[in-house]
Amino acid sequence: MSTAAQPPISVSGDSSPSSPTTSGSSSRSSSAAAAGSEDPALLGQATSTSAGDDAAVPTSPRMGMYFETEEDAYEFYKAYAARLGFVVRKSNKSKNSRHTVTRRLFVCSKQGFRQEPKKPQDETNSALVAAAASPPPPRCPDSRTGCMASLTIKLIPSANAFRVTDFVIEHNHPLASAAPALSLAMIPSSSSHHTIAAAASLPDPRDGPRTDMHFETEDDAYVFYNRYAEHVGFSVRRSYKKRKRGVIVSRIFVCSREGVSDRAKHEGLAIASTNTGTGAAGTPRPGPPPTRTGCQARMVIKITPCRTYRVAKFFADHNHPLANSETVHKLRSHKMKARAHELGTGEHHRKKQGKGVQLGDAGAALEYLERLQVGNPSVYYAVGMGPDGHSATNFFWADAKSIIDFRSFGDVVCFDTTYELNVYGRPFALFVGVDNHKQLLVFGAALLYDDSIQSLKWVFQAFADAMRARQPKTILIDERSACAIAAAEVWPGSNYCTSVWHIYHNSKRHLKQVFENSKSFGNALSQCLFDCEDEMEFLSAWEKLVEKHEISEGEWLSRLFLEKEKWALPYRRTMFSADIITTLRKDNMINELKRELSEQEDILQFFKRYETMLEEHRSKKLQADVDGNQWNWYNLRAQSNT
């Protein structure tokens, strides 16, 4: 991507003299102007997804966009930067008397100008003599070009949130092209957002290292060389490094076969093997083949006066056979990529997991989640492996909007597992909540091909990690004991109750014959579950239900009544639930998603449909927020006029 593809636009909504602007014509987009009001309803609307073939793409910043915290705005701008091909850093900030940040400026990493460090006079004279005797080293590229691209946010006390007040789009330097989709070896789910954003703008590894290449960090250089090694057919490891004042000034990345194996060690192993070997007495059995062959292939980087790293030396020749494209994934530094390509390609997955991983599902899910995070580094995802360590059994993911929503409305969480009622083939689950307008919120999603206690504990822990360990006050789960045990281990201080919404749906499976024989049974059961708030009223309604419909006290119904304190309204009136059950009964999004998740449908098509439906649902929620704010404003104005 080059600057020619970027329209020269500067959007400014802050008259502060410190706000960066660009010379020349400036204009404000109509969408930015329309969103310029101080409306907290826009809080956290930081991402949107595309229904196309590409991964989810962050929305461009716009005037009036709100963020709950300064860090949320920073993460969103970094995601936007990664998509376009530049790197972000934090710049000036303002604080009030209480040391609260009231204004923050985020800039392109090429903002400002780099100054040469001053040297003492004797060092300067020595440098002049050395320069006359030898040619100057390659000049580092301009890591600071005075770029004015930036994003400014200001704290709005009335909304207790940060609003975008200035957004400068134009860059004065070429932008990096989007790199090919990075493998899990390059971008693990736990890696930092900065590493992800920087990796997206690295050179194409297929061209190989050159001595004029520069990298922002040492890690960027390693990622690039490892990607080059994967293309050629060898494995990489970090070798010698040199520090000055705690800063790495040089580093050598070598082929994994660099050096020579300890011959004495192998001889010792060979002699020891004669005592246990099956060969002739006194004939030593050969030891393991050496893994070091003295290979000289390497890449050397050195720090520059610009504080970047340049390639100082590069040796391409190897003294050993190189791996081909079919076996390179087995090398040490590329093993994680093998996981992404090999998962879901074996029939043994169906035999080992209870729900049965559909052929290709695991690999397709990993590919989707990997691209999703490259497109938006704020996305969190985790993959749970089976007992064999090679097959994926569980997947969890949450985007930036879900994480922001949880911070505001995460006191009550319902773990929806009603997928078990349907024969869809793919076990889809949701973490949901409810906002102040009784609108359903999606906090996270999961595919659970294994629903053991350990597996459920894993998905609860993945959810907790995504939400930065914030603990819900109330958690609604189904009546299975496995769910309660797993949740209690992850959130020991939370309140737990069985969701009557789950009970009602489960009853259709356990009491299928009763539902078919009596049309009034469903309404009578709903009254017991959802409407009886007094204990005597509940007990009377339950007794009438059993007698009228001649229900035999089966195992499921008997156990349900014995555990009534966990779910019946009269026994949990003191437990805060935000009236989430009412919302779950009225909202159809979950059922619509379940209908989309058919066994015959390609899983990538489901992911795209999930993104589209989630975005449509969020648009309706945003409209409800706007309507609610307008109604409140109308009421306040009417009261002030009376």
10 Å CB burial of residue 407 (0-12, 13-18, 19+) is middle
Q: Look at 86 and 599; give whichever has higher pLDDT.
A: 86
d(CA 180, CA 117) in angstroms, rounded, equals 37
User: Quick check: 203 pLDDT over 70?
Assistant: yes
Reported as a single tens digit per residue, the pLDDT across 523-540 is: 888 878 777 778 888 888
Q: Which of 317, 308, 464, 438 is nearest to 380 (CA)?
A: 464
User: Quick check: 43 pLDDT over 60?
Assistant: no
Reported as a single tens digit per residue, the pLDDT across 103-143 is: 999 999 888 876 655 555 555 555 555 555 555 555 555 66
Please check whether residue 490 lies inside any domain of the structure: no
User: What value does the mean pLDDT take over residues 205-224?
Assistant: 86
Whether the CA torsion 41, 585, 567, 479 is positive or negative: it is negative
pLDDT class for 102, splitting at 50, 70, 90? very high
Same domain, 218 and 305: yes
Return the structure tokens found at 208. 């190989």
Question: Residue 487 has what pLDDT?
Answer: 86
pLDDT class for 273, splitting at 50, 70, 90? very low
Are 196 and 220 a contacting pair, CB within 8 Å? no
Same domain, 41 and 148: yes
Are 80 and 72 a contacting pair, CB within 8 Å? no
Same domain, 359 and 231: no
What is the number of residues in the chain?
A: 642
Q: Look at 149 and 435; give whichever has higher pLDDT.
A: 149
Partnered with residue 243 across adjacent β-strands are 248
Same domain, 379 and 443: yes
User: Quick check: 37 pLDDT over 90?
Assistant: no
Reported as a single tens digit per residue, the pLDDT across 69-90 is: 888 889 889 888 888 888 898 9
User: What value does the mean pLDDT take over residues 463-487?
Assistant: 82
| Mean confidence (pLDDT) of the chain | 71
pLDDT class for 574, splitting at 50, 70, 90? low
Of 23-32, 73-82, 222-231, 430-439, where does mean pLDDT reach its minimum? 23-32
Please check whether residue 226 lies inside any domain of the structure: yes
User: What value does the mean pLDDT take over residues 217-239?
Assistant: 89
Partnered with residue 322 across adjacent β-strands are none
Same domain, 30 and 113: yes
Please state the pTM of the whole predicted model.
0.45
Return the structure tokens found at 292. 């070091």
> CA 99 from chain center: how many Å?
31
Question: Residue 512 has what pLDDT?
Answer: 77
Question: Residue 388 has what pLDDT?
Answer: 66
pLDDT class for 228, splitting at 50, 70, 90? very high
User: What value does the mean pLDDT take over residues 277-287?
Assistant: 50
Same domain, 56 and 163: yes
d(CA 177, CA 172) in angstroms, rounded, equals 16
> CA 567 from chain center: how many Å?
34
d(CA 328, CA 232) in angstroms, rounded, equals 9
User: What value does the mean pLDDT take over residues 564-586?
Assistant: 69
Please check whether residue 177 lies inside any domain of the structure: no
Please check whether residue 187 lies inside any domain of the structure: no
- From 557, 575, 593, give the residue that closes a domain: 575
Same domain, 246 and 333: yes
Same domain, 159 and 204: no
pLDDT class for 437, splitting at 50, 70, 90? confident
Number of domains in the chain: 4
For 513-537, letters b (16+ CB in 10 Å) and e give ebbeebeebeebbebbbeebeeeee
- Structural domain including 612 reads 355-473+576-642
Please check whether residue 402 lies inside any domain of the structure: yes
d(CA 541, CA 324) in angstroms, rounded, equals 71
User: Quick check: 350 pLDDT over 50?
Assistant: no
User: Quick check: 318 pLDDT over 80?
Assistant: yes
Q: Look at 161 and 135; give whichever has higher pLDDT.
A: 161
Q: Look at 35 and 443; give whichever has higher pLDDT.
A: 443
Same domain, 566 and 622: no
Please check whether residue 130 lies inside any domain of the structure: no
- From 575, 608, 628, give the residue that closes a domain: 575
Question: Residue 316 has what pLDDT?
Answer: 94
Please check whether residue 343 lies inside any domain of the structure: no
Same domain, 585 and 522: no
Question: Residue 352 has what pLDDT?
Answer: 37
Same domain, 530 and 448: no
Using only C-alpha atoms, the chain has a radius of gyration, in whole angstroms, of: 30
Same domain, 531 and 541: yes
Please check whether residue 347 lies inside any domain of the structure: no
